[in-house]
């Protein structure tokens, strides 16, 4: 019995040792698995933070792009000094008006306006004052034109006005109202005199090139200048 019991006890110890080894391996595997799970969670959190940064950067980038596009759009169509449409935008609107003219009941007219003796303003007071004068005159244009009329800075102290669906006789009334408004505003210019404008007016003639209409308005402006300025002349 003693020998049998000794063998049984020896077998028991061997099995206990194996069970302990298995338990130790199982505990180690569990600890490793838990550690891996924690490491994976941390990696996921880190990746999530990185993704959040990328999203913020992307949103900021998209906002910058929208603002840049808007700035470029404005700079491409607006005069930076006066805020009026520039020559490029006016040419687009004139071309559109020519395309619509055959279907319109009334023709359109254009007016070329030029500030009289503007050079003396810059020479006597400097370009800063000259710029302020142009801004003020642009404001008066806006206040005295109809909602569907368009005034653009054509270049320097020259402005071009588009009067849609307006025959020459009616356009003459609008142009003279603008001229009178600027004269009555008493904008002080060079040598202490009041600033005035001269306006050349013409009506678009169906079938002609837009360039011909613009040249005719320019001739009308030259006529207004040669006949004493501060007046409207029509060709």
The domain limits of the chain are: 1-77, 87-234
What's this model's pTM, rounded to 2 decimal places?
0.70
What pLDDT was estimated at residue 1? 65
Q: Determine the average pLDDT of the residues in 35-64.
A: 71
Which of the residues 3, 10, 97, 157 is marked catalytic? 157
54 confidence band (pLDDT: 50, 70, 90)? confident
Average pLDDT over residues 171-193: 81
pLDDT confidence of 89, banded at 50, 70, 90? Answer: very high
Determine the pLDDT at residue 191: 45
Mean pLDDT of 157-169: 96
Q: Which of 123, 160, 167, 129 is nearest to 145 (CA)?
A: 160
20 has catalytic annotation: no
Q: Is the pLDDT of residue 36 over 70?
A: no
The tokens describing 82, both together, are 């006066």
Which of 124-128, 168-172, 224-228 is the least confident region? 124-128
Average pLDDT over residues 63-78: 67
Predicted confidence at residue 110, as pLDDT, reads 97
Q: Is the pLDDT of residue 232 over 80?
A: yes
What is the CATH code of the structural domain delimited by 87-234? 3.30.70.270
pLDDT tens digits for range 17-32: 666 665 566 666 566 5
Per DSSP, helices labelled H in the chain are 2-77, 87-100, 118-125, 127-144, 168-184, 210-226
Sign of CA dihedral 198, 204, 208, 211: positive
């Amino acid at each position: 019995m003693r020998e049998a019991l000794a063998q049984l006890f020896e077998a028991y110890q061997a099995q206990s040792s194996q069970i302990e080894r298995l338990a130790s391996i199982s505990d180690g595997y569990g600890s490793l698995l838990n550690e891996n799970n924690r490491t994976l969670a941390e990696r996921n959190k880190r990746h999530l933070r990185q993704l959040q940064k990328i999203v913020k950067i992307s949103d900021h980038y998209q906002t910058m792009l929208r603002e840049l596009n808007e700035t470029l759009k404005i700079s491409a169509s607006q005069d930076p000094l006066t805020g009026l449409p520039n020559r490029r935008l006016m040419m687009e609107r004139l071309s559109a008006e020519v395309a619509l003219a055959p279907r319109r009941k009334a023709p359109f007219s254009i007016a070329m306006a030029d500030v009289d003796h503007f050079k003396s303003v810059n020479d006597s007071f400097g370009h800063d004052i000259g710029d302020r004068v142009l801004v003020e005159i642009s404001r008066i244009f806006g206040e005295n034109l109809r909602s569907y009329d368009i005034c653009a800075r054509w270049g320097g102290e020259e402005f071009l006005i588009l009067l849609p669906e307006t025959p020459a006789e009616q356009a003459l009334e609008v142009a003279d109202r603008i001229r009178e408004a600027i004269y009555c505003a008493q904008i002080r210019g060079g040598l202490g005199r009041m600033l005035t404008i001269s306006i050349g007016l013409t009506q678009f003639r169906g079938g002609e090139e837009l360039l011909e209409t613009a040249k005719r308005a320019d001739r009308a402006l030259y006529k207004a200048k040669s006949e004493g300025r501060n007046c409207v002349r029509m060709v």
